[in-house]
Structure 1
Amino acid sequence: MSEQVPTNIREIVNVRFENPKFKFDGKRMRVLQERKVVDYSSAILKQMRERTKDYLQTNNKYNLNNQIINLPSPEQCYNDHSYSLTTKFEHLSMNKVKSPVHVVRWTPDGRRCMSGTATGEFSLWNGYGYNFETILQAHESSVRAMAWAHSGSFLASADNLGVIKYWHQSMNNIQIFQGHDEPIRDISFSFNDSKFCTASDDSTIKIWDANDTRCEVTLTGHNWDIRSAQWHKYQSLIASAGKDNLIKFWDPRAAEELYTLHSHKNTLLALKWSLDGNYLLSGGKDQIVRMFDIRSMKERYLYKDHRKEITSLTIHPVIPDLFVSGCGDGSIYFWQMYNDIPLEFIPSGHEFTIWSMEFHPIGHVLATGSMDNTVRFWIRPRAGEEEDLENPEEKDITERVNGSIPGL
């Protein structure tokens, strides 16, 4: 009887490895494993195919599980946020040497997700399968801030020692210079990438020339550590906030303070501009996200349902009125700007504080970095999938509702 011939690649590799003539060269050969990926190409192709509006609505809104190819892209869900909420946990990524993750940033092309850790390392994770790709020792101290230029040509990063570094897309270090004497908490580029600003624990904001790394202006006015400074989307305007509970607006050209908001009652930890630049979101230790209209310098909305301090904010890159907040207890909240009730809530997204979060450039994946040493990826739920309930009480309630109800 003839021997059975291996049919798939896994059997072929295993047979070769067990062959006595095969010499071990010192490298460990791992058993092949299947790796799930999130491919968004079908959604983009669907969007290109359906550029004209379907007035007859012939496509079924609720697709079956085997019709995943019909899942619309986030851009097609402009008026229906139910398709755009990335509430399904997909993958957990962690370095071998565990360290808190302070910053998470997607590359401009969306092919990789970068994380900056407390050990000064950059870790690159694949944008499809979220597996580890490479790691490099970028800084000598904790990485505190990272920002890509709007053109995507280079990355600026800063650490706990106040050092600023430029990085090429290939992760080659271009420039190193001392920016502040104390930790730098935030970096933000101007709308034309000609300048960028840095916020530091030394209570100052510095405006830098992006070409020759020359400090042009030093803004002073805060009375304590500055935790965030964000350049406006298309104007010469900078918003900053920190431990003195104040939000200040600056004109970088005249190097002067324009206006101060006194709405918060505790330390501010996060600021974000809306996509149109008309609104500013702020959050901090008072457990409230506030939205300000900069045209009238008035507070428009309050978002109060947080259980702990707000440590991170991010806005959807495609849907302008959708934003996400991360808290000190690891919870994640999804909000619509003109609705003070959260659209979705993940109570235990992380075990500890969420320091950073950012959407994929297309908007179908949310990456979050936390003090629990992990980077977690969240995707949109697929039609027909049952939600995993970790809380047994929630599971019991679901079973009672789905089952027979006495008296009816």
Structure 2
Amino acid sequence: MKYSYKFANLLGTVYTKGNAIFLPNADTLCSPVGNHLTLFNLKENTSETLPVTTKYNISQIAFSPDCVLAIILDEEGNSYLVSLQSKSILHKFRFQKPVSCIKFSPDGTKFIVCMEKVVLMYHAPGRTREINPFKLIRSYHDVHDDVTNVDWSDNSLAFAMCSKDMMTRIHSISPGQYLKYMFGGHKDEVVACFFESQSFDLYTVGKEGALNVWECDVDFDFFGEDPDTAKERKSWSFKRLAKHYFNAEGDFNFVTNASYHKQTHILCTGFESGSFLIHELPGFNWIHSLNMADHPLSSVSFNSAGDWIALGCSTSGQLLVWEWRSESYVMKQHGHLNNMACLDYSPDGRFLVTGGEDGKVKVWNASSGFCFVTFTEHKSGVTGVVFTSNGNVVVSASLDGTVRAFDMHRYRNFRTFTSPNPVQFISLAVDGSGDIVCAGSKDNFGVFLWSMQTGKLLSILAGHEGPVVSLAFSSRESVLASGSWDGAVRLWNVLEGKGSRETLALNHDVLAVAFSADGATVAVSSLNTEITFWDASTGVQTGTIECKYDIACGRSELDRTSSKTKAEGKMFDAIAFSTDGSSLIAGGKFLNICIYSVEGCLLVKSFTVSQNFSLDATEQFLNRRKMTDFGPQALIDTDVAKVSLPGVMKGDMCSRAFKPEVRVSEVKFSPTGREWAAVTTEGILVYSLDGNSVFSPFEVDMDITPDQIREKSKLGQHGVAITMSLKLNEKDIIREVVENVPHCAIDVVSRHLKPLYVGKLLSYIAGEISGTRHLQFYVMWTRYLLLHHCSMLKSRWKKVLPVVNNLLKYLVVVKEDLGSICDRNGHQIEFIVSMSEHPNKRLRLAVQDSDDDSGIGNFSEEMA
């Protein structure tokens, strides 16, 4: 149970590519992030990443109208039928070519797949009892170029498809009435086409910025008629009523995407310049326009109510939800433009801070997954971020030669630390008191020390002969450990200022240094794929972990050797201790993250970083299909991604294709001990123990059963019942027993509880207090447990510290939630109280009778 971490969420990246769409009849936005699928609940302000991954990056998503099934397609044509209820893959199917569009019919019986010049119609899975969920009905091959978009009519008896051949085609699928109509009217490829609500009238949007309005002469229920009675009507025709141009309101370049909400008759159009326009149809009345980014918009979609618009930009990784009626943001999230480099947890585990190569420092809510503040003061890549011990300050180091301190209350940069001569800082550490800030340089191989209070440079620690790549402070005393490429780790007593206290000599370059929670042990990762443990007080080596055979390297497309014989990248660049100091987590430029036992120096568990083949170095074996007569196919430019020259907006003939390589830049355990996070190429992977349904009893015997526990609780033996339920370790049983204890007996029961079970009961309360209705009841339990067992908790602080941090985390969350509710209702409560004391009895009766909004009006009439 201690190491049964499961994938919990993906942070730091909100959108990669594909269509970001809303769930039907829900205020939840579904965004493809690499080969993951993230759901943003905009009502509850939370995010969730489904435990479902595809083989390559996701390109298209489609949901059934009843919101039970989803079809996910990757960029290589692999499709996955996913159940949204069990959040598991039900079926896999491979199309021969990449799919450009997929859409369910409104009645949920069919779905259409567009695959280059071919349009395929399938029976929707789950409607009939079939062995193969994807049963092909019919294929259409009458298109001369790639199909760009499709749309269904409201009665699901006809669909329209537009393509790059500047034509739009409408097909009828009513039995016995397979009719077809084709028309043009555009000078460039048709980006999107939309049926009008309860009609066959059509709108087509061209890439050149033109909108055509087409009127159909056939009644909407024509295809529902009996074929025998409709024999005389073998054709239908369309007439263009109007043609409008988007560029009339300004220079918006080419249209990249469009979405239409049929009930509200609102059209939203995205452009190559990063702007979007909102019009009301069919009159083409301009409502609003806004610039979202400097890059083309790749996704535009409406929610079911039609008041929210989701806009995604794949180039900048930006995702926002715009409420067009109030002209305000519902959600505005922007990941790091380039790769993330570092992260750190806040002391209570509620927040995560990340630094990226784009020079931005972002703070994320670990529970909701949203970024709530971004600092952009750095002018170059951020190499280190650290929370101070009180959690009120974030310190960051950058290659621009500055170390900055940010206030987490006012969200401002209040300190900037610089060196006498320009240097590049590549490592960072802050002491336990938060008064001393240290940064290691890449140029002059020195360690710079500043005062947080004054901002002055205190000292420059010299002695290393290579770049100082890692710094760590001891929590027990002001001892600083610095690791360098010169093959040495130096321990400095910062307060004494007498040079290095101890030098730990290694035969290879040092890559990472970490202190244990008690400050007694130093862990060092070196270039020879070893992790060594040293006693911080004596400088004696206490243990060694040989990691050579634990590292699983992938084979890059340009590698000439196999992954087993590959030596490059087989090293741990990042290591971190757990809160209790019993475990060490390590990661690097390879496929897995390893957790080691410090006491036994053994590998406990290994986690695979990614199985996304859209990233480089994820394959284990050579794929001979990617080899040509001239060498690897990766040497030939493909449309994987484009890197343009600086300052060139379009028309860059020197753009090159590249494939990002999988790697881990930083790993950290949460102070609560319940989760850990890793900075990877795809984002921040968060693995947690919460939510696992693993049965893990504690000192259980044959006499401890649910019936025996309930019997003890009914007899009033609450202490015995709680002890037995904690041994059985079933959450429902513990809840039932604890909540049966009378509130007047909590003091006595908690006083006589054995010290062995205090930590387990506090751990249960920490997980329960955030969602329970009996808040005061559990707060009383917390108060008496801490009051009666304070001395015991101090003596066993190593094991109890993660539990206390976890409890503090949820207590602070509940406090903030209650505080916000009280702030919103404070004026209303004061008003009601003041009116209850009014001398006029008639007014008091009016206030008491006003239970809804209409009561306020009655009260106003009484005052008048």
What is the TM-score of this pair, normalised by structure 2? Answer: 0.34
Give the drift of 1:281.
0.5
1:194 paired with 2:435, answer yes
Conserved? CA contact 1:283–1:289, under 8 Å: yes
Structure 1 residues 26-175: aligned runs within 5 Å: 26=289, 30-31=302-303, 98-133=337-372, 135-170=374-409, 171-175=411-415
Cα separation, 2, equivalents of 1:373 and 1:312: 17
Cα separation, 1, equivalents of 2:590 and 2:478: 36
CA displacement 1:114-157 (0-9 Å, x = unmatched):
21111101233331242454544241100011111112221111
Match of 1:393 in 2: none
Residues 149 and 100 of structure 1, relative CA distance in 2, 3 Å threshold: same
Give the drift of 1:246.
0.4
Give the drift of 1:362.
1.2
Cα separation, 2, equivalents of 1:237 and 1:96: 36
Structure 1 residues 289-368: aligned runs within 5 Å: 289-306=531-548, 307=551, 308-317=570-579, 319-349=580-610, 352-368=662-678
Conserved? CA contact 1:103–1:356, under 8 Å: yes
Residues 213 and 323 of structure 1, relative CA distance in 2, 3 Å threshold: same
CA displacement 1:261-320 (0-9 Å, x = unmatched):
11x332211111111111100102211111001233211111112431110011112x22
Residues 366 and 138 of structure 1, relative CA distance in 2, 3 Å threshold: farther
CA displacement 1:199-255 (0-9 Å, x = unmatched):
111211122111111111111111111111222212132111111010111122223
Give the drift of 1:26.
5.0
Cα separation, 1, equivalents of 2:516 and 2:602: 19
AA of the residue aligned to 1:208: W
1:20 paired with 2:264, answer yes
Match of 1:405 in 2: none
CA displacement 1:375-402 (0-9 Å, x = unmatched):
22122372369xxxxxxxxxxxxxxxxx
AA of the residue aligned to 1:178: T
1:281 paired with 2:523, answer yes
Conserved? CA contact 1:280–1:291, under 8 Å: yes
1:259 paired with 2:520, answer no
AA of the residue aligned to 1:102: A
Conserved? CA contact 1:143–1:158, under 8 Å: yes
Match of 1:215 in 2: 457
Residues 174 and 382 of structure 1, relative CA distance in 2, 3 Å threshold: same
228, 231, 242: which one aligns with 2:484: 242
RMSD of Structure 2 on Structure 1 (CA): 3.1
Conserved? CA contact 1:357–1:369, under 8 Å: yes
Q: Which moved more, 1:185-194 or 1:209-218?
A: 185-194
Cα separation, 2, equivalents of 1:204 and 1:250: 13
Residues 324 and 382 of structure 1, relative CA distance in 2, 3 Å threshold: same
Q: Which moved more, 1:274-283 or 1:342-351?
A: 342-351
Conserved? CA contact 1:229–1:271, under 8 Å: yes
SS at match of 2:601: strand
Q: Which is higher, the Rg of structure 1 or of structure 2?
A: 2
Conserved? CA contact 1:99–1:373, under 8 Å: no
Conserved? CA contact 1:368–1:376, under 8 Å: yes
Report which structure shows greater RCO (CA 8 Å, sep ≥6).
Answer: 1
Conserved? CA contact 1:111–1:128, under 8 Å: yes
Give the drift of 1:105.
1.7
Conserved? CA contact 1:219–1:255, under 8 Å: no
Residues 258 and 20 of structure 1, relative CA distance in 2, 3 Å threshold: closer
Give the drift of 1:158.
1.1
Cα separation, 2, equivalents of 1:364 and 1:304: 27
SS at match of 1:228: strand
Give the drift of 1:96.
5.4
Conserved? CA contact 1:369–1:376, under 8 Å: yes
SS at match of 2:692: coil
What is the TM-score of this pair, normalised by structure 1? Answer: 0.69
Conserved? CA contact 2:336–2:356, under 8 Å: no
**Residue identity (%):** 15
Cα separation, 2, equivalents of 1:10 and 1:213: 47
669, 681, 687: which one aligns with 1:378: 687
Cα separation, 2, equivalents of 1:97 and 1:276: 34
Conserved? CA contact 1:217–1:255, under 8 Å: no
Residues 361 and 138 of structure 1, relative CA distance in 2, 3 Å threshold: farther
AA of the residue aligned to 1:155: V
Give the drift of 1:163.
0.6
Cα separation, 2, equivalents of 1:190 and 1:96: 29
Residues 190 and 384 of structure 1, relative CA distance in 2, 3 Å threshold: closer
Cα separation, 2, equivalents of 1:296 and 1:206: 25
AA of the residue aligned to 1:162: G
SS at match of 1:339: coil
Conserved? CA contact 2:353–2:385, under 8 Å: no
Give the drift of 1:340.
2.1
Residues 349 and 342 of structure 1, relative CA distance in 2, 3 Å threshold: farther
Give the drift of 1:95.
5.6
Unaligned runs of 5+ in 1: 1-6, 33-93, 386-408
More helix by proportion, 1 or 2? 2
181, 185, 188: which one aligns with 2:422: 181
Conserved? CA contact 2:336–2:358, under 8 Å: no
SS at match of 2:417: strand
Cα separation, 1, equivalents of 2:591 and 2:422: 31
445, 448, 453: which one aligns with 1:206: 448
CA displacement 1:12-34 (0-9 Å, x = unmatched):
x999x6433776655876538xx
Cα separation, 1, equivalents of 2:341 and 2:508: 21
Unaligned runs of 5+ in 2: 1-23, 29-42, 44-64, 66-196, 198-260, 267-279, 281-286, 291-299, 305-332, 552-569, 612-660, 696-864
Residues 10 and 203 of structure 1, relative CA distance in 2, 3 Å threshold: closer
AA of the residue aligned to 1:212: T
